[in-house]
């Protein structure tokens, strides 16, 4: 006889480097309510593209996902495309940026800023 395992799926993850960057921006702005808004819009070379913004207010239908002092905010339309994704922050020769590692994307562009599901 087998037993079923249960788990709580994580809607989105935030990497350590992204958490550190959000916390640094909160300190720079002297604003402890600052949150990283992640959203999806139409466009880009693969059909959809990711967007990032900082907000200290949220709409009633937004989802807030907290990671210690850092938090992500996602609108209901974008949420469905981002479930299971990891938001990361990277610095390199091409500059610094937040990026999404999305397991739901079937195709992504070379820069990783747009995707198709």
Q: Determine the pLDDT at residue 15.
A: 96
| Annotated binding-site residue? 45 | yes
Q: How far apart are CA 59 and CA 33, in angstroms?
A: 14
CATH topology of domain 13-101: Hypothetical Protein Aq_1857; Chain: A; (2.60.300)
Secondary structure tally for the chain: helices H, strands E = 2, 9
| Annotated binding-site residue? 74 | no
| Annotated binding-site residue? 109 | yes
Model's pTM, two decimal places? 0.80
Q: Domain residues of the chain, as ranges? A: 13-101
Query: pLDDT digits over 22-46, tens only?
Result: 999 999 999 999 999 999 988 766 6
CA neighbor of 66 nearest in space, from 93, 33, 91: 33
Q: Determine the pLDDT at residue 85.
A: 93
């Amino acid at each position: 006889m087998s037993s079923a395992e249960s788990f709580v799926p994580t809607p989105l993850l935030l990497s350590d480097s992204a958490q550190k960057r959000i916390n640094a921006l909160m300190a720079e702005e002297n604003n402890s309510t600052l949150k990283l808004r992640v959203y999806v819009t139409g466009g880009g070379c693969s059909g959809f593209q990711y967007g990032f913004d900082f907000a200290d207010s949220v709409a009633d239908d937004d989802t807030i996902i907290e990671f210690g002092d850092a938090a992500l905010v996602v609108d209901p339309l974008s949420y469905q495309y981002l479930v299971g994704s990891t938001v990361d922050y990277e610095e390199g020769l091409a500059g610094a940026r937040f990026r999404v590692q999305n397991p739901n994307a079937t195709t992504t562009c070379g820069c990783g800023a747009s995707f198709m599901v």
